[in-house]
Amino acid sequence: MPFNLGRRMGAWSRGGRRGGRRSGTPDYCVCPSCGSIMPHKIGLPCFHTRCPKCGSIMTRKFSEI
């Protein structure tokens, strides 16, 4: 196989992400200043999102199973 394609695809085949992170569980963006919570949008990192209440940069919180 060119470029060792089979090995690269195998690393991403468990749950769609490396390490087999659970799929289907929602993640959240949390404001470290005021505690505001909003759902994480796929493709948009939380640190690129501003809090709608206070304007601080959001951080990501993974949901617990």
Render pLDDT for 14-33 as a digit per residue (tens, 0 to 9).
444 444 455 666 789 999 99
Residue 6 included in any domain: no
Instruction: Name the domain count of the chain.
Output: 1
pLDDT of amino acid 62: 82
Residue 2 included in any domain: no
How many degrees, rounded to 5, is the angle at CA 52 between CA 47 and CA 56? 45
Whole-angstrom CA distances from 38 to 14, 50, 53 are 27, 11, 11
Residue 57 included in any domain: yes
pTM of the model: 0.57
Residue 18 included in any domain: no
Domain span at 37: 25-65
pLDDT of amino acid 16: 47
Residue 16 included in any domain: no
Across the range 36-59, mean pLDDT stands at 93
Residue 56 included in any domain: yes
- What is the C-alpha to C-alpha distance for residues 32 and 20, in angstroms, rounded to an integer? 28
- What is the C-alpha to C-alpha distance for residues 65 and 59, in angstroms, rounded to an integer? 19
